[in-house]
Chain A
Amino acid sequence: AQTVTQSQPEMSVQEAETVTLSCTYDTSENNYYLFWYKQPPSRQMILVIRQEAYKQQNATENRFSVNFQKAAKSFSLKISDSQLGDTAMYFCAFSINSNFGNEKLTFGTGTRLTIIP
């Protein structure tokens, strides 16, 4: 079974600053995906960024980037030039990559991020 751990229940940062959210995971699988999802007050889960485990290069999406350390089973999210709209719950998630197609997601408990004006 896979587990995902987010050890920072809450974080806050001043607007325009950089913030890093931490995530560790445990799995015996070698081929998998890792995700960061954002859940604003609207409740809809929105994909922020995705990393394939077989890719050594860290994924980036505009102001969002990850630090993927496969051996350490660590997957942190860095948000640069933070904006008020980044205020939300952030969830780290894991899924196996298999012939099955879209495998289930295993989520962490989330980090509540507040951007201060």
Chain B
Amino acid sequence: DAGVTQSPTHLIKTRGQQVTLRCSPKSGHDTVSWYQQALGQGPQFIFQYYEEEERQRGNFPDRFSGHQFPNYSSELNVNALLLGDSALYLCASSLDRGLFNYGYTFGSGTRLTVV
């Protein structure tokens, strides 16, 4: 049973460029959340997708956008990259069943470096 798969594992981009990160959730999961983890910090919530719509959003600018596909996989897009966007981007999948929190499964992340 595959866990959460993220691609690519590492990425180097130039300031001002755009980037797309990809996530395949754990088999059976229908919800995907994205987190940004700056060096030496805890992860910060970016947004969550369920039924192909953004359901929750953290305190991130509109340069950060996402998408969820019918197969539950997801993309995170960041436009007009800044040096401060350099971070580890983590994807977490879960199964949504209302009150019952079955917990998250995390991927190993994409390390984005903006130069």
Cα distance, A47 to B98, chains bound together (Å): 20
Cα distance, A103 to B55, chains bound together (Å): 10
A45-B92, A50-B103, A102-B94 are contacts. A108–B42 as well, Cβ < 8 Å?
Answer: yes
Instruction: Count A interface residues, CB 8 Å.
Output: 26
**Chain B CB within 8 A of A91 CB:** yes
**Chain B CB within 8 A of A55 CB:** no
Cα distance, A107 to B109, chains bound together (Å): 16
Instruction: Count B interface residues, CB 8 Å.
Output: 32
**Contact B101–A45 (Cβ < 8 Å):** no
**Contact B45–A106 (Cβ < 8 Å):** yes
**Contact A102–B58 (Cβ < 8 Å):** no
**A residues within 8 A CB of B56?**
100, 103-104
**Chain A CB within 8 A of B2 CB:** no
Map CB proximity to B onto A34-73 as digits: 1 under 8 Å, 0 otherwise.
0000000011111100100000000000000000000000
Could you tell me the distance in whole angstroms from the C-beta of B9 to the nearest C-beta in chain A? Answer: 9
- Please give the residue numbers on chain A whose beta carbons come within 8 Å of chain B beta carbons, in ascending order: 4, 33, 42-47, 50, 91, 93, 95, 97-110
Given contacts A101-B99, A110-B40, 16 further A-B contacts (CB under 8 A): A43-B108, A43-B109, A43-B111, A45-B90, A91-B42, A91-B43, A95-B101, A98-B99, A101-B31, A102-B48, A103-B56, A104-B45, A104-B58, A105-B35, A105-B92, A107-B42
- The 26 sampled A-B contact pairs (Cβ below 8 Å) are A33-B101, A42-B108, A43-B90, A43-B111, A44-B107, A44-B108, A45-B43, A45-B92, A46-B106, A47-B103, A47-B104, A50-B103, A91-B42, A98-B99, A99-B99, A100-B56, A101-B50, A101-B96, A101-B97, A102-B48, A102-B101, A102-B102, A105-B35, A106-B45, A107-B43, A109-B41
